Amino acid sequence: IRADTIWQLQRVATVQTPDGVLLVKGQRPTRGVARFWLMRRLAHWTNNPLLQPVPAYGGGRAQNIEVQRLRQLASAGVSVPEVLHQADDYIALSYLRGESLQHVLTQDPELALSMFDRGLDALGQVHALGQYLSQAFVRNIMVVDERLWFIDFEDDPCEVLSLQDAQT
């Protein structure tokens, strides 16, 4: 993994190892929390917790959040990639051979409505398990062998929201 420069340049890359293909995700640069000042003010002024921004720290903190959330979700029975290794500047995850739900929805109009419904059902199943996602966008749902998997957990909505609001 250290010899592969793609993940260091593009931050996310697949790496071929003797044990198979891995997804390697380098750290995003550290981000300041001041950029969310206006959203925090709007949430306060409107008394609407759903406008409360979720901190996106970047750096090692975001990487640790992602590893923790992936392990929490996996232990609850949610389909997420397995954390195979965590280093100081990257994590290695099991590689999901498939397409994003976003790709499926835009490329196959005949399947779009049924796949969208499946995505909503999968999200409902996550919530029924007492769990929540951080960015439940169709780009962060993978379709692998007819099964839906969730990815991208560098932030944790429950840092600033209740479970019910995070699920909302």
Q: How confident is residue 35, by pLDDT bands cut at 50, 70 and 90? A: confident
pLDDT tier, 13 (very low <50, low <70, confident <90, very high otherwise): very high
Picking from 17-21, 98-102, 131-135, which range would have the lowest pLDDT averaged per residue? 17-21
Reply yes or no on whether the pLDDT at 34 is more than 80. no
* Secondary structure, 3-state, the chain: CCCCCHHHHHCEEEEEECCEEEEEEECCCCCCHHHHHHHHHHHHHHCCHHHCCCCCCCHHHHHHHHHHHHHHHHHHCCCCCCEEEECCCEEEEECCCCEEHHHHHHHCHHHHHHHHHHHHHHHHHHHHCCCCCCCCCHHHEEEECCEEEECCCCCCHHHCCCHHHHHC
